[in-house]
Homo-oligomer: A and B are copies of this chain.
Amino acid sequence: MMAVFPKVIQDLIDSLRRLPGIGPKSAEKLAFYLLRMPQAFLTDFSVSIAELKKRVNYCEVCKNATDQTVCRICEDAGRNKSLVMVVEEPMDVVAFERMGKFKGTYHVLHGRISPLENIGPDELFINELLNRVKGRESGRVEEVIIATNPTMEGEATALYLNKKIKELNAKVKMTRLGMGIPTGADLDYADDMTLTQALEGRRDT
């Protein structure tokens, strides 16, 4: 096929195609959509992309994405620093903050242990978590809630963290998010594992 796209459009399509969930067809559609957007929008959009990594770093304490040295949550005197919820991604923090009921702090691993993707413990912020629990870098941690995803990799990561934190002999309480039927779900659509965990995690009424 003859090159019908001007180079700048082709470059844009190539970039868009590297994003998750954007196939060749949507990349083309997006590129032509952008061509009709006002230049002011394109300028803002391009600045956000170019400056993204320069303006964002990881919080010294919890490793969440922030534009400060210590993030807004970690610097908030109203948050319970002795309670640390360990999550895989910054998006998980957003989910809990949206809920608005958790008043502790977070620790963002930035991934999960995944031998298939060549991600071992050293690729994650696990040592930083262990240092927090040892109490070297901030106040005493009394409880660590492990809130990795209930996937194979998330569970493996949880097990690894459990083992490592126990080895510290730091007398820290370790918990895991409750598992079971999600609100609004249809019981007969739940998978066996979810049902098993709902049964094991049953509570007195």
Contacts and interface: CB of A to CB of B under 8 A. Distances in A.
A20 interface: yes
B73 A4 contact: yes
Interface string A44-85: 111111111111100000001111100111001000000000
A189 interface: no
Contacts of A67: 6-8
Contacts of A39: 53-54
Interface in A11-27: 11-12, 15, 18-21, 26
B20 A29 contact: yes
A132 to B, nearest CB: 19
A158 to B, nearest CB: 21
A43 interface: yes
B35 A42 contact: no
Main secondary structure of the interface of A (DSSP, over half): helix
Given A42-B52, A50-B46, A52-B9, A4 B93 contact: yes
Given A20-B33, A56-B6, A97-B1, A11 B46 contact: no
A18 B3 CA distance: 29
B12 A72 contact: no
24 contacts: A1-B98, A2-B76, A4-B71, A4-B90, A4-B97, A5-B94, A6-B55, A6-B67, A6-B68, A8-B51, A9-B52, A12-B49, A15-B41, A15-B48, A18-B37, A19-B30, A20-B30, A20-B33, A32-B90, A34-B49, A35-B53, A39-B54, A42-B52, A46-B47
